[in-house]
Amino acid sequence: MIVAALAFYLFSIVAIIAALNVIFQKNPVHSVLWLILTFFNAAGLFVLLGAEFVAMILVVVYVGAVAVLFLFVVMMLDINITMMREGFIKYLPVGALVGGILFVELAIVFGSWAMSPQSEALRSAPVPEGISNTEALGNILYTQYFYLFQGAGIVLLVAMVGSIVLTLRRRPGVRKQDISVQNNRRVQDTLEVVKVPVGKGLAS
């Protein structure tokens, strides 16, 4: 158990430090890199909870796709840091006020938090006996929630069709590589051997 506890504290502390660094880094590229570290540690926490499928999805989707996409976008955008820092002092009082109110509200909520007695029993996720949780998820996703799964699939299809409709522009006159045309070209089509008589040139 001591190993699990140590791993928990390790992952949590690194995750918190990395998350703070996401906010406090001056360079947005560094922020994204810290974000990736946060995701990895959150995945570690999920493994400790016994939710290895969610952990792997977190790494594959968030680190593998989303964070890399972020990185690309951040690198392509020309963000001027000094411009963004302008007016920091000006907005500080308002920001501090809003943040302070939120903090007080959170404190009130947690101060009066009452746990329902039944919730303790429900806390541990019901994992069926004898199968991994990936299998358990698959079992309900393709049976009980089949309709929703298909519905979500169609939502994604519409998202794809929609983004293509709204952004794809066909520009005429763009040269593209067409391999079959290239391969079908023969010497006779492109080259012509011309005998040039001496002293007369090609002009006539």
> How would you classify residue 73: left for phi > 0, otherwise alpha for psi between -120 and 50, otherwise beta?
alpha
* Residue in the structure block whose two tokens are 């109110």: 101
Rounded CA-CA distance 7/81 in Å is 37
Judged by DSSP in three states, 135 sits in helix
- Looking only at residues 160 through 179 of this chain, which bind other proteins when binding is defined by CB under 8 A? 161-162, 164-166
Q: What would you report as the CA-atom Rg of the chain, rounded to the nearest whole angstrom?
A: 30
* Residue 139 found at the interface with other proteins (CB under 8 A): no
Min dist CB 151 to other proteins, Å, is 4
Number of neighbours of residue 149 by Cβ within 10 angstroms:
13
Q: Could you tell me which stretch among 34-42, 54-62, 65-73, 155-163 binds other proteins (CB under 8 A)? A: 155-163
Q: Could you tell me which stretch among 42-50, 73-81, 154-162, 177-185 binds other proteins (CB under 8 A)? A: 154-162
Min dist CB 16 to other proteins, Å, is 26
Question: Closer to other proteins at the Cβ: 181 or 198?
Answer: 181
Tokens of 135: 């299998």
Q: Among 88, 121, 147, 203, which residue sits at the site for other proteins (rule: CB under 8 A)? A: 147
* Triad 162, 167, 170: Cα angle to 5°: 120
Min dist CB 125 to other proteins, Å, is 15
Q: Give the residues lining the site for other proteins (CB under 8 A).
A: 143-148, 150-152, 154-155, 157-159, 161-162, 164-166
